[in-house]
Amino acid sequence: MPDTQNSRGLYRFALLTASCTVLLLMAGALVTSNNAADSVPDWPLAYGHLVPPLVGGIRFEYAHRVLAAVVSILTFVLAVWVTRSESRPVAKRLGWTAFALVIAQAVLGGIRVLVGHPALSATAHAVLAQIFFSTVVGLSLYLSPWWQKDLPQLDQAASRPAFLLATWTTVAIFVQLILGAAFRHGAFGIQPHLTGAGIVTIMVIWAAQTVKHSFPGVREIRLRVVFLHATFGIQVLLGVAAYWAVLRAGANFQPSATYVTLTVAHVLGGALLLAASLILTLSCFRLIRPSSLVAVNSTGARLAGPAAS
């Protein structure tokens, strides 16, 4: 029982870390949407102080740094907890990979402040944030009671196409987030992002239908497909609304509340869509029987056939 309680506690702490990462993503989006990225010229201190005057855009930039510090501490605690409690090597690797990513993300944020070049450094900062978030989400799923219990499994021949489609859908969404971040930080125009939206639409519909037919009767898979559909639908609506807000804002330096709300919501929607697709992909992988086990079972069936007759 203590081991079970510790496992559930670790899983809940991983969920807490992932939830705080969502808040961190929101804080970062608020910095960009409020044109506050250059409000603080130094790093890691702010105007030479631990706590700067909280006025203007400094409020958003400083809140982003505070949340980054909180998430870094949570990730370190998570990595240590996983190392001490988990016997599975994959869990330990994921824990320390997440910690390495959050440290790299902090350093990249410092480079953005000290060196500049937002089209490159800010885009890279946004992309690395999504990679870190995906790692924490994947670790949380791996630590979940669902992943660790006995589950019905399908042969690769039946379920592998669904897994591959879900994987490529996750990749397409990640590339779309890169294109969105590049547009948001001025690397290029909106056209690549719009093209990516069309590709993601096709992939989401195709993958979801294939997965539902490959894993019939699996309630968890059905719920994950619903989550993917919901986040995708909301993200499309947010994308249209955010683009309208961008066009309406024009060259105005002072962003409106509508502009900030819609653009930040669109950034968060993209992160949640990526998480939904990743969870579906990993869940499909969990339910696929290893090919080596399939071969053993097939060989055993052939050997048992003559004996039984």
What pLDDT digit, counting tens, does each position of 168-225 carry? 999 999 999 999 999 988 888 899 999 999 999 999 999 999 998 888 878 889 999 9
Distance CA 260, CA 246 (A): 10
Decide yes or no: CATH 1.10.3470 for domain 152-291: no
What is the pLDDT averaged over residues 18-32?
95
- For residue 150, the Cα-to-chain-centroid distance in whole angstroms is 26
Nearest CA among 88, 89, 92 for reference residue 100: 92
Q: Rounded to two decimals, what is the model's pTM?
A: 0.89
The reply to whether omega before 192 is within 30° of 0 (cis) is no
What is the pLDDT averaged over residues 233-238?
96
Token output for 57? 């855009």
Which stretch of 29-38, 114-123, 224-233, 290-299 has the lowest confidence by average pLDDT?
290-299
Asked if 201 and 181 count as a contact pair (C-beta separation under 8 A), the reply is no
Nearest CA among 218, 196, 78, 205 for reference residue 146: 218
Which regions of the chain does DSSP assign to beta strands (E)?
A: none
Is 292 exposed, middle or buried, given 0-12, 13-18 or 19+ CB atoms closer than 10 A? Answer: exposed
35 pLDDT above the threshold of 80: yes
Distance CA 63, CA 20 (A): 13
Residues 6+ apart with CB under 8 A from 68: 24, 27, 102, 105, 106, 109
Tell me: the pLDDT tens digits for 97-131?
Answer: 999 999 999 999 998 888 877 788 889 999 999 99
